[in-house]
Amino acid sequence: MARIVNGAVPSPNIWNTPQIYELENLAVGPEGAAEAAMRAVRPFDGATVVEIGCGTGFHLPTLAASAGRVLGVEPHGGLAAKAAARCASLPNVAVRTGTAQALPLPDASADVAIARWAYFFGPGCEPGLRELGRVLRRGGAAFVVDVDASRGAFGRWFRRSLPSYSPEAVERFWSRLGWRREELDLRMTFRSRTDLEAVLGIEFTPEVAGEAMREIDGLEIDYPNVLRWREF
């Protein structure tokens, strides 16, 4: 059984079904849209970039193409091993097991930190935010890419599957802390209805996933996200 670092916030979709989560990552587009929005705020060229909750390392090679050094941090030992194997040929990439609230980095050692659909969902993530203040250098930036549950059919399915989630409370949380935001109009495009159904099945309750499948014509769905950031 894979080791999971103490204090990790569970991520059932990728922890339990990484092969289906891979299909989800492959489906998200336009390719590079989130990265372009982040780079417009703080370029990655030559920077030390940390991805928090990197999973199987899907995004690490893209980051490594321009960053000076990339560190993936993942609390699930099995996923971290997959990420390390994926990036074995990339000399500027390393993967470590660790949590957002106890990053395995020295003080003031990173220029950019990214959390993509991992841990940072508003109230409760304060320990991870304190860690960002510790590990980022002056002039650095932290980015959080998250589902925008206030918009579109995807947001409606998300809220129905997780009724305790309040987009309004999340928005107040980040606004109070002074983080900035930009809407990201992403989409998912699948190769087959089978792949689409599998991904909906790890993101929503069975009832909601079934209703979503009946609503969707074809192989594409809108995927509203929000990019949040703070400069240090």
pLDDT of residue 4: 93
CA–CA separation, 131 and 127 (whole Å): 6
CA–CA separation, 204 and 154 (whole Å): 10
pLDDT of residue 225: 97
Mean pLDDT across the chain: 96
Cβ neighbours for 78, distance < 8 A, ≥ 6 positions apart: 2, 3, 18
Cβ neighbours for 230, distance < 8 A, ≥ 6 positions apart: 132, 141, 142, 177, 178, 179, 180
Whether residue 150 has pLDDT greater than 80:
yes
CB atoms closer than 10 angstroms to residue 160 = 14
Whether residue 227 has pLDDT greater than 70:
yes
pLDDT of residue 114: 98
pLDDT band at 138 (very low <50, low <70, confident <90, very high): very high
> What's the mean pLDDT in 2-21?
93
The C-alpha torsion from 129 through 133 and 135 to 141, rounded to 10°, is 90
Whether residue 31 has pLDDT greater than 90:
no
Structural tokens at position 227: 């990019």
CA–CA separation, 144 and 152 (whole Å): 20
pLDDT of residue 121: 84
Give the pLDDT confidence of 53-86 residue by residue, as tens digits. Answer: 999 999 999 999 999 999 999 999 999 999 999 9
Residue with tokens 């074809």: 218
pLDDT of residue 120: 81
Report the DSSP pairing between strands 48-52 and 110-116: parallel
Helix residue ranges, H only, the chain: 12-16, 18-27, 33-41, 60-64, 77-86, 126-135, 152-161, 167-176, 193-203, 206-215
Whether residue 1 has pLDDT greater than 80:
no
Beta bridge partners of 146: 226
